[in-house]
Amino acid sequence: MNDPKYLKIIYDLKEEILSGKLKPGEKIYSEGELKKKYNVSNTTVVRALQELVRDGLINRIQGKGTFVSKSILNKQVIFNEYSHFPNDKKKQFNSIESLERTEVDLIKEIKDSHIAKKLNISSNEGIFQFQRIRYVDDVPWALQNNFIPKSYLNGIDLSNQDEFTSLSEKIFKVCGINILHEAMRETIEIEYPVRNEVREKLKINDSPVYHIQRITYLSENKPFEFVDTYVRHNYYSIEIIKEKY
């Protein structure tokens, strides 16, 4: 089976970059050179390069050309996030998973210029907010807000909130988009002091939380959702693994 020509370009350039033939910071082939080499249109070349930009392998600088990303030096870094539970919970119960649950706290349409900017939409456009709280043994350990432009979910029935406990499954069923497999950018910070709404929802007093913000992108690098999450500090950990380069 023959793959589309833009996939061939992506595969070949990835191979040259990851093998070290093309070095971090090095200028790569021009659009004209790629068009001639693969006998394709300019549209095909641009699409392939856009995919490589999205993957973080190259950078395109207007007027100068296309370059291998310098961050490719760290291509062997593996970043893992873990939800974990305090030792007293682990000792008390044989199966912590059976005590976990997610409740939909609210679903509503909003207009918010700050969130609209993150989603790269007009401040006048409607946004659906899905707020969920995650529990273990009746302890609220995570508060998550997902914000999705209304235009992506036009016609969706929001009346039954219980259908949105797993938002990723619902989105896949309704839109055919597996948001867990799409590109994303995430930042993690410690927040202290904690804003009142978060303290009330998570039932905490004078303790910090992890504040995690993520933007999920579609294949054309267009934001699909903005996720704003707060997690009790003792229910979350991060692991970073870097192989020898």
Give the CATH number, domain containing residue 121.
3.40.1410.10
The pTM of the full predicted model, rounded to 2 decimals, is: 0.67
Cα separation, 23 vs 29, whole angstroms: 13
Closest CA to 224 of 172, 187, 188, 189: 172
Q: Are residues 124 and 195 in the same domain?
A: yes
Q: Are residues 11 and 91 in the same domain?
A: no
CATH code, domain carrying 35: 1.10.10.10
Q: Are residues 95 and 156 in the same domain?
A: yes
Closest CA to 43 of 51, 33, 35, 55: 35
CA distances from 75 to 39, 53, 169, 241 (A): 30, 14, 30, 11
Among the candidates 35, 52, 74, a domain finishes at 74
Segment holding 244, helix H or strand E: none
Q: What is the pLDDT of residue 243?
A: 61
Q: Which residue has the tokens 């509503």?
A: 108
Identify the segments of the chain with pLDDT beneath 70.
Answer: 1-3, 71-80, 84, 86-98, 219-220, 242-245
> Domain tally for the chain?
2
Q: Are residues 124 and 65 in the same domain?
A: no
Q: Are residues 68 and 99 in the same domain?
A: no
Q: What is the DSSP letter of 27?
A: B
Q: Are residues 12 and 102 in the same domain?
A: no
Tokens, residue 243: 């192989």
Q: Are residues 38 and 149 in the same domain?
A: no
Q: Are residues 36 and 93 in the same domain?
A: no
Q: Are residues 157 and 219 in the same domain?
A: yes
Cβ pair 82, 236 in contact under 8 A: yes
Q: Are residues 38 and 123 in the same domain?
A: no
Q: Are residues 96 and 206 in the same domain?
A: yes
Among the candidates 52, 74, 96, a domain finishes at 74
Q: Are residues 218 and 125 in the same domain?
A: yes
Among the candidates 74, 99, 128, a domain finishes at 74
For residue 160, what are the domain limits?
A: 81-242
Cβ pair 77, 239 in contact under 8 A: no
